[in-house]
Amino acid sequence: MSSISDGLKDIISKASLSARGSSLSRIRKNALSEPAAKWVAQSRIGCEVGHALSIVLATPGCTHARGGKGGCTMCSYILDGASQKVSAENLIQQFKHAMTSLEGLSGPISVKVYTSGSFLDPEEVPLEARVEILRVIAEDERIHQVVLESRPEFVTDEVAEFVRKSLGDKELEFAIGLESSDDRIRSLCINKGFSLSEFETALKNAADHDIGTRAYVLVKPPFLTERDALLDSVQTIIEVAKMGATTISVNPVNVQKHTLVERMWSRGHYRPPWLWTVTEILRRTRNQVSLDVNIVCDPVAAGKTRGAHNCGKCDDTFVKAIRKFSLDQISEHFEGLDCGCKREWNHALEHEDLAQIIHSLRFRIP
């Protein structure tokens, strides 16, 4: 990376640390026998529609966010973690508590295990807890699909082999937040802390053991115009599909507390993506990516000022179309969408320019 890029990277890292401030001291004390969050929703599982249980274990949180680089510019999920020491037994209790949400449901079921960091990081999830959690999943015949979230550095060949042996022939994916296939955007705009080559290595390690990769793609990182965000997401989805990703999860930025994105948003230097942009990304890529690769999207805080939104009048209609598409992969759901705000969205695509990016960089670093 050039000296100019290195300098910008340092500025972004310091700004992320400054925005985070003392927020880590505000992590709420949760009951360590219960997960930070859990919910059940309809989900596309392979070529079927079933139910997905999403579990957020209360762990110490992401090592990148806890480190000296400030974490990702848009993410404060670490605040959903635990402020106390978390034992393997605590995590097993949390998982089993969440699994009670599946009582009375038949398959196919997907279980998605999140930690606000990396399930495969032994500092977050001790091996004892990992072994027991995987054992419980393996013995439940209703569970057809398992999604385990992790940063790529923890997806080693040894770990992939262990997880595959533990779960037998269940459909399995490692979920990795690549965000963008452009190293410059991932480094400078998102402060992600890993390269595309590291992601590719993790994808290969997973594939060698018949494990898929669910790639998260971030829509509109800070410092990108609406047009550049749209183009970057489309390019990333197409490239990641070619790399061998099995599912692509499209994630529009939502403004989270104590992040650099929130600081910029509160000063009028950032707007979350338009829902018009999100639907255009899904429409374009579904026509260019093999149907063997599922493209899904469940925008957080959609229709609100902190999430992807249009004018307010048409937001619900757009969100419903996005969720229908995520279940059946039919892009025709977007064909009838229309609203007067489309003119404003088109204006944003055509007239946002470098001046806005330069203006956005003028935040103060205490």
Residue 211 lies in a domain: yes
Residue 366 lies in a domain: no
Contacting residues for 162 by C-beta, under 8 A, at least 6 apart: none
Residue 303 lies in a domain: yes
Residue 116 lies in a domain: yes
Peptide bond between residue 108 and the one before it cis (omega within 30 degrees of 0): yes
Average pLDDT estimate for 282-306: 97
> Tell me, what CATH number does 254's domain have?
3.20.20.70
3-class DSSP assignment, residue 301 = coil
DSSP state of 106: P
Task: Please give the model's pTM, rounded to 2 decimal places.
Answer: 0.93
Report whether 294 contacts 248 (CB < 8 A): yes
d(CA 209, CA 276): 38
d(CA 356, CA 366): 22
**Strands, E assignment, 46-165:** 48-56, 109-114, 143-149
Structural domain span for residue 348? 3-360
Residue 132 lies in a domain: yes
Report in angstroms the alpha-carbon separations of 241 from 209, 288, 348.
Answer: 18, 10, 28
Report whether 41 contacts 53 (CB < 8 A): no
- What phi and psi values does residue 200 have, to the nearest 5 degrees? -65, -35
Length of the chain: 366
Query: What single-letter amino acid sits at 136?
Result: V
d(CA 335, CA 279): 10
Residue 327 lies in a domain: yes
Residue 270 lies in a domain: yes
pLDDT above 90 (res 59): yes
Mean pLDDT for the chain? Answer: 92
Q: What is the DSSP string of 254-288?
A: ---TTSHHHHHHHTTS--PPPHHHHHHHHHHHHTT
d(CA 140, CA 138): 6
Residue 275 lies in a domain: yes
CA 147 from chain center: how many Å? 12
**Strands, E assignment, 150-284:** 171-179, 212-219, 247-252
Average pLDDT estimate for 205-228: 97
Report whether 186 contacts 178 (CB < 8 A): yes
Average pLDDT estimate for 204-226: 97
For residue 206, name the pLDDT band (cuts at 50, 70, 90). very high
pLDDT in tens, 232-291: 999 999 999 999 999 999 999 999 999 999 999 999 999 999 999 999 999 999 999 999
d(CA 260, CA 36): 23
Domain count, the chain: 1
pLDDT value of position 365: 40
pLDDT in tens, 346-366: 999 998 764 455 455 554 444
